[in-house]
Amino acid sequence: MTMKKSDMEWKKILTLSQYNIMRMKGTEIPFLGEYNEHFEKGVYVCAACGVELFPSNTKFPSHCGWPSFYDKSKKAKIKENDDRSFFMQRTEVVCDNCGGHLGHVFNDGPKPTGLHYCINSAALKFIKK
């Protein structure tokens, strides 16, 4: 992780929802996120630090309630952590640049990767291309 900020600095930069999700490892209500059904051409970047995470051509309609991607950007700095919270075993994904919680990755995605990055809209910003 290259970007370090205090808790107070993050509270000034992020919205309350973004802070809850990205710093406190929360989640947003399914199907209500800004990018759940968003399919424009461009890139999705980390809402906290702006690092490119997912190209729009890897986004797919998973109908799970959160934006879903089958692959990350070649420029992405994503770290995977074991997550055993809530009596489940999952793989958490965080921005490796700022440490922000993004969501989780599962092995039930479409070809060619078979991956399913299930990401909170609040953890993303979209840049249209």
Tell me the catalytic residues: 118
Angle made by CA atoms 23, 91, 50, in degrees to the nearest 5: 45
Query: For tokens 């989780």, what's the residue?
Result: 104
Question: Is residue 11 within 8 Å of 19, Cβ to Cβ?
Answer: yes
Distance CA 2, CA 73 (A): 19
Q: Which two tokens stand for residue 125?
A: 């910003």
How many distinct helices (H) and strands (E) make up the chain? 2, 8
Helix/strand/coil for 104: strand
